[in-house]
Structure formats: structure tokens, C-alpha cells
Structure 1
Amino acid sequence: MLRSGLSLRLLVVTPAVAIFLSSMLVNVGNLGFNMIFSRLMGPELFGQLAFLLTLKLSVLSLFGAAQMAVSHLVSDCEPRGRGALLAGLSVLTRQVFVLLSLVFLFAAIALWLWLGTTALPPVLLFAALPFGAAFSVLRGVSFGAMHTGAIILSANLEMGVRLIGALLAWQLGLGLSGVAGAIALSIIAGWAVVRRELPAPAQPVELSGLIRSLGLGGAAFALLQLAQVLALDGDIFLARSLLSAEDGGLIAALSLSQRIQFFACFSLATVLLPDLTRARRTGQPVIVALRPVGILFGAVSIAVLCATTMVPEWLTDLLVGPQYRAAAPLLRLAALSAIAFTLSYLIATALMAFGDRRGIWICLTVAVVQLAAMALIPEPHLSGFVMIKVSCQLAACGISLLLFAVRLKCSLLTTR
């Protein structure tokens, strides 16, 4: 009993749990942002805001692949070589910042000349994207070195500035431009917290090897991000041409619930990668890095399955409104497919810590097969789409689990 109590206390204070709880708070803030402004703005204006947010998330997802690649490099680097790695990342980050600033400056000028003052919201967003690129690299360093305080503070400050700043801008009558400005400021605020993670280089740095390593790692994680978009959101695009408008709306509602489930656990992947990489490099038991992630993922998955089984109508009303209640009977299957994909995603990330990209190819291949099956179904319908998704993702999860079990067994035998 004493040992189990001590293990529980140790679990509570691990970086994985602290970052997970922080991520949950950020997700609640983001959900609150959408719920508040969908009511304040009305459908037409909120649609414009949703487009801006989609644009922002699309660009930041590419930066997120770079973040994971940087995290992997930093955690895999021996202490004696870390200074040179950080110096190289510092130089590269500055160069990318300048390059993106020029690109987005020309894009902003072109938009302004084309659209006039209506281009102000995307122009404000473009102004922050170079900071977003630097922010992703700096967060990758923070995760690789597991600087928990900086990780938590930057994420929550970004969310707080976005939510409070947008509300203030709206109350001041600044409209969509004010909200876009608050979103831009939130990115800069997050960057400001971690800007000292990279020191100024004291001497010239060779970048060719670093660029090659980041390119290979970033490409792998970009493919994993692509798999996530195809697996969770690809059916939305197919539904526009294959299903009725009503069923297309229900597919979008189910997809939203799946994204909430996935992003509730996404922070676990950002912790799992550097922890496993570090354990492999130092010869430590990998089970220590796996345990908190497995427990937290299991807790979230059980809670989601219980909620979607017992109160699907209430959840549907809360997330998207009573007009989408026809999707409630399928909510549990949608949650199950999201849980299966999330586990496949975590396994693919864990395998990357061992230099194994097969988990990524499993996720991507099954996502493509899933969409092909939906497109070729003789009589497309809502329940058919949902059944295809859950079947494909459960199959991918089973294959990924088998692959990871073999890899884990080999790792355990090696460390003995």
C-alpha cells in the first residue's frame, strides 16, 4: 500500500502530468474562445474568424512538425554537444525569422492592394507568423530539455492573451480586426516567454548538417500531421460532395468531437518523444517514460467513452448545439475511432524516438485507405462513413500496438 501511494505521488509530480494538466487548461480556454465568439459574432462573422483560425492552425501545424524535430534533436544530443546544437539552432532560427518576415511582408502588401482595408485581419495574423516559427523552435528546445516551467507558462500566457485580448478588443468595438490582433499578440506573448532558450552564438556555426537533420525529422513529423488531418478531418471534405448538406453538417460535428479528444492527448506526444529519446540514449528503462503517458491516455479515453455512452445528447448540445442532435447516436463510435487514432499517433511518436518511422507510415497509409473506402462506398451515408472510420482506425491501432510491442521487447532485452 505504501509503495502504491508513493508511486501515485511520484506520478502526480512528473513533467508529463504537469504539462498534460496545463494543456487541458489551454484546451478549455480555446473551447471557451470558440463558444463565446460564436455567440457574440453570429454565423457570418464567426465564419470569417473560423477561416482565420484555420489558416493560422494550418501554418502552425507545419511549424509544429519542426518543433517535434527540434525536440527530438535536443533530447538525443549528448550534453557535451548540446552547446553547439543550440548555437546552430539559434543562428538558423534568426535566419528563418528574417526570411519569413520578408515573405509575409510581401504577402501582406499584396493582400492590402487587392482587398484594401478588409485585408487587415489576415495582415495582422501574417505579422505574427515569423514569431510563430521562432516560437515553435524555442518550444522544441524547451521540450527537448524538459523545461517544464517555460512550457507551461508560454502555453497558458498565449491562451490568456488570446482570450482576454480578443474579448477586450470586441468590447472596444474593434471588430474582427481587433480579435485578429489579439490572436497575433498571443503568439508574440508565447514567444517572449521562451525567447532566451537559445543563446546568441559566440562564433560562426556550420548549419548544413543541422538543416539536413531538421529536414528529415521535420518531414517525418509533417507526414504524421498530414495523417492526422486526413484521418480525423478528411471525411468532411468528402461529405461535401457525397452526402447531403444535413449529413455533411453532422459529419463536421462528429469531427469536432474527435479533434477535442485528440488534442486533449496531443501534449502527451510532445512529452513522450523527448523522454523516450533521452531514456534510449542514456540506457534508462523506457517503461518509466511510458507509464505516466499510458495512465493519462487511459484515463482520458475511459472518461470520453463513458461520457459518450451515457450522455451523448447532452454532449452534442454542449459542443455544437441541439440542431446537431441527430449525430448523438454515433458519438460513441466517433470517440472510439478518435481514441484508436490517438493511440496510433502516440505509438508512431514513440517509435520515432527509436528512429523507426513505420508507425508514421501506418497512420498515413490507413488514413488514405479510409478516405478511399469512403469515396468508393456504393451508397454513401452518414453511418457508413462512421463505420469505415472506426474500422480503419481500430485496424491501424492493432497493427501499431503489435509493432510497438515487438520494438519494446527488443528494447527491454537490450537494457538488461
Structure 2
Amino acid sequence: MTVSQLKVRKITPEQFFMLSAMGVNLGNYLYNLLLGRILGPEQFANAAILITFLLVLSFIAMTFQLTVAKFTAGYETEKQLHFLNYVKKASLIIGILASLAVVLFAGQLQQIFNTDSKWMFIIFGVGIPLYFLMSVNRGFYQGSKSFYKLSATYQTEMFSRLIITLLLVTLLANGSSVLIASGILISFIFGLIPFKNSGNFFTKVTLETNDRKNLVNFIAITAFYELTQIIINNSDILLVKHYFNSYDAGLYASLALIGRLVYFVAWMFVMILLPTVVQKKKNGENTLPVLFKYVGFVSLLAVSIVTVTFFFPEFIINIMFGEAYTSIAPLLWKYAMATSLFAISNVFVYYFLSIDKYMPVALSGVFGLGQVGLIVFFHNSLNQVVIVQIIIMMMLLFIQLVYFFYQHKKKTHLQ
């Protein structure tokens, strides 16, 4: 179905983006599932490290995307392009520094995570500046609510990675982590399509003092929160790869992939929530209905996924990854519960982030570090690792709800 046909049927740009994001998530899932089936648990553990590094990179790059989205939503067209050019340059500088760090310490990363090659990290590191630039580009489309173009950037990245990686792995050298890293790198290039031209890139760009101050403050807060996202979402896989053997790490990677479905779907709602809340706040409108709407969507999704994974764990594992992974089935609903609690909590955090309230960000950081600490001390079994996460996420959601009701009561008293 073409974009023009969708417009005729009165599907809004936001709805189109939701449909597109669902397709992208399904494509990314298919990518992981096929790799899991082709490689088997032990080799999939190495692929899972690259996939986890990709998720870590996406959270870091989200700092740029959310920053551009927030400020673009509040600027006029000429100022938007000026700001976009400024952040593009900053993202490339930071991206090159990060790339050098990964390339230089590739050998150490190989030892820490017990992988079969350091070249997988080197190839991945080369692509970091491209991914940051891609995220700045997406931030502009998100903030200006150009959801058709925003959808296209995700589609080009996903389809290219899916097709190219699977072709490389199946045709050249089955199971090579270097080939998987190469497919990821190539997908970053395709993810730049369509690219927003912001004028002469080499022109010196400066921002007004107040704009620069607001930019630095928001980037600092957002970067801190994205760091907590990295810790909460990915520390378990990295720690399991470090503490457990490759077979168990591969089983856990398949568990995490399925259990995180609710989080990845919730991400679609967050992408629409942020610019919507920013715009409503700017217009002096009530932003709470937007929050309640998306909390309701994510909660319904979470309950559905936990219920299905509780009653049909072996069936789901077998369909998705095959019989080699079914021994992990009893943990599936527990992991889904942990990620569901985090996904709901995350909606509250992004809501407060969009209205310039940052305490929930700090709270997420505290609990993220708490999760790492508890896993370091309690990792006698994979079940214990999952139980630790359920406890931490229950506490985090409770604290976020307490903060929300406190802020709401405080605002009511002031009116």
C-alpha cells in the first residue's frame, strides 16, 4: 500500500509511523530469530553481543535524536535548520572519538566478552559516527512530525541489515561475527536515507547563549537517562556473557529477545509522545491525557504479552528459535514481566523529560546501577538473574508512580 493510498484512507502520519514501526520491529525480530536458528546457542551468543552493542549505540544516539526532536518542535523553520547543522557537527565529533575508543580497545573487548574475534568490534566501531549522524537526521523528522520520512529511515536501515547480513552469513562463511558486523555497518549507510540537507555543512554555526545553555542542559540530562537505559536494558546480557558459558549466554540472549518485545513496541509510543507533549505544553494545553493514553496502551500490551508467555512458553520458544532453546522456556514469562514493568515506567520518564522535569531520570539511574550491583552478587543461575530484575523494576515503577502523584497533587494545590 502506497503512502498516497494511506492518505486517501485518512490514516494520519502518526498512525502511519506506528504501522511502519511495527513493521521495523518485526523485521528486526526476524533478523535476530533467523540468526539464532542459523547459528545455534553457542555461536548466537557472539552475535548477541553485537546486537547488544547495537542497542547500546542506539540508546547513546537517542540523546541526539531526542535533543533535536525537542528543540525542532519549538523552533521556526530557519532556526530549525541552523540548529540541525550545529548538532550534526557535534554528533560527528563525538562519534569519531567514540569510534576511536572502540577500535583501540577492540582486543580488550574480545577478552571481556569471550568472543571469537576482535575485528567484529573494529568494524562496528567504524560505523559509530554514521549512526550518530543518522540519529540527528531522525530527530529532525521526529520533531517536525515528518513521520513518513522518519519511517523511511528506520525501514531502510532494517531492510538493508536483514537482507545483507543474512546473505553474507549464509553464502560466505556461516556464523562469522565479522560478517554480521559488516552487515550492521552497511545498514548504517542505508539508514541515512532520506537525508535532511541543512545547508553548507562547513559553514561556521553558532547558537545564541540561551539556546546553547538550554541545549547543553537537555543533552546532559538526556545522556544521563540514556545511560540508565543502557544499563537497565543491556547490562544483564553483557554480565551473563561474562559470568556464564557460551551455551547459557546464547539461551539467555534468546530469552531477552522475546521478553523485550513489550519494550520495543512501547518505544513506538514514546516516539510520538515526546513531540506531542512538547507542543501541547507550548500551547498551554493539558498534557495528562496524552500520558494516560500511552500508559494505557503500554500496560494493555504488557499484560497481554506476560499472559501469553506464561501459558505458552515452550511453544513460543520453539516457534521462534527452535528446540535447541526450549530449556529456557520456564523463565520467559518472568523476563517478560521485568521488561513490562520497565516499559511502563519508561513512559512516565519520557513524559517528565518532555516537560523539563528530571527527577525520574535520576531515579532510573539509581535503580539501573542497583540492577548491575545485584546481578554481580546474585548470579548463581539464570533464574536468579531474572528475579533480580523483576524486583528492581517493581521498585522503580512504584517510585515513578509516587513521584507522579506527588507532582500532580502539588500542581493541583498551586492552581
Q: Does the TM-score normalized on the shorter chain lie above 0.5?
A: yes
Deviation of 1:22 (Å): 1.8
8 Å contact kept, 1:92–1:207? no
Q: Of 79, 82, 85, which aligns to 1:84?
A: 79
Report which stretch shifted further, 255-264 or 334-343: 255-264
Note closer, same or farther for the CA distance 1:270–1:255 as it changes in structure 2 (3 Å cut). Answer: same
**Aligned counterparts, 1:215-254, within 5 A:** 215-239=216-240, 251-254=252-255
Distance between the aligned counterparts of 1:269 and 1:51, measured in 2?
A: 26
Distance between the aligned counterparts of 2:316 and 2:412, measured in 1?
A: 42
Distance between the aligned counterparts of 2:246 and 2:53, measured in 1?
A: 24
Report the equivalent of 2:130: 131
Asked whether 1:399 is paired with 2:394, we answer: no
Report the equivalent of 2:206: 206
Deviation of 1:348 (Å): 0.8
Note closer, same or farther for the CA distance 1:202–1:47 as it changes in structure 2 (3 Å cut). Answer: closer
Note closer, same or farther for the CA distance 1:243–1:181 as it changes in structure 2 (3 Å cut). Answer: closer
Q: Deviations over 1:57-77 (max 9, x none)?
A: 3333211222112212222x2
Report the equivalent of 1:34: 32
Q: Which amino acid aligns with 1:367?
A: G
Note closer, same or farther for the CA distance 1:130–1:268 as it changes in structure 2 (3 Å cut). Answer: same
Report which stretch shifted further, 119-128 or 19-28: 119-128
Q: Deviations over 1:303-349 (max 9, x none)?
A: 20221122112123234443443433332222122111111111111
Asked whether 1:341 is paired with 2:342, we answer: yes
Q: Which has the higher helix share?
A: 1
Identity %: 22
Note closer, same or farther for the CA distance 1:22–1:405 as it changes in structure 2 (3 Å cut). Answer: farther
Note closer, same or farther for the CA distance 1:208–1:106 as it changes in structure 2 (3 Å cut). Answer: farther
Distance between the aligned counterparts of 1:360 and 1:300, measured in 2?
A: 24
Q: Which amino acid aligns with 2:354?
A: A
Report which stretch shifted further, 260-269 or 89-98: 89-98
Distance between the aligned counterparts of 1:230 and 1:29, measured in 2?
A: 25
Q: Deviations over 1:51-108 (max 9, x none)?
A: 4444443333211222112212222x243xx522431321441464377458858987
8 Å contact kept, 2:48–2:250? no
Deviation of 1:126 (Å): 4.4
8 Å contact kept, 1:224–1:345? no
8 Å contact kept, 2:225–2:365? yes
Report the equivalent of 1:192: 193
Q: Deviations over 1:188-209 (max 9, x none)?
A: 222121323x344898532474
SS at match of 1:186: helix
Distance between the aligned counterparts of 2:387 and 2:104, measured in 1?
A: 47
Distance between the aligned counterparts of 1:27 and 1:361, measured in 2?
A: 29
Note closer, same or farther for the CA distance 1:180–1:249 as it changes in structure 2 (3 Å cut). Answer: closer
Distance between the aligned counterparts of 1:41 and 1:244, measured in 2?
A: 16
Report the equivalent of 2:305: 304
Report which stretch shifted further, 307-316 or 148-157: 307-316
Distance between the aligned counterparts of 1:142 and 1:354, measured in 2?
A: 20
Distance between the aligned counterparts of 2:353 and 2:124, measured in 1?
A: 32
Q: Which amino acid aligns with 2:232?
A: A
Distance between the aligned counterparts of 1:30 and 1:157, measured in 2?
A: 12
Q: Which amino acid aligns with 1:158?
A: E
Deviation of 1:409 (Å): 5.7
Report the equivalent of 1:317: 318
**Aligned counterparts, 1:328-407, within 5 A:** 328-376=329-377, 380-407=380-407
SS at match of 2:165: helix
Note closer, same or farther for the CA distance 1:396–1:320 as it changes in structure 2 (3 Å cut). Answer: same
8 Å contact kept, 2:277–2:287? yes
8 Å contact kept, 2:67–2:139? yes
Aligned length: 395
Report which stretch shifted further, 228-237 or 183-192: 228-237
Asked whether 1:161 is paired with 2:160, we answer: yes
Note closer, same or farther for the CA distance 1:37–1:374 as it changes in structure 2 (3 Å cut). Answer: closer
Report the equivalent of 2:257: 256
SS at match of 2:206: coil
Distance between the aligned counterparts of 1:126 and 1:242, measured in 2?
A: 24
Deviation of 1:37 (Å): 3.1
Deviation of 1:244 (Å): 8.1
TM-score using structure 2 length: 0.79
**Aligned counterparts, 1:56-75, within 5 A:** 56-75=54-73
Unaligned runs of 5+ in 1: 1-11
Asked whether 1:173 is paired with 2:193, we answer: no
Note closer, same or farther for the CA distance 1:224–1:287 as it changes in structure 2 (3 Å cut). Answer: same
Report the equivalent of 1:6: none
8 Å contact kept, 1:276–1:350? yes
8 Å contact kept, 1:17–1:292? no
Q: Which amino acid aligns with 1:143?
A: Q
Distance between the aligned counterparts of 1:43 and 1:28, measured in 2?
A: 21
Report which stretch shifted further, 167-176 or 102-111: 102-111
8 Å contact kept, 2:367–2:396? yes
8 Å contact kept, 2:45–2:247? no
Distance between the aligned counterparts of 2:376 and 2:182, measured in 1?
A: 40
Q: CA RMSD in A?
A: 3.8
Distance between the aligned counterparts of 1:54 and 1:47, measured in 2?
A: 10
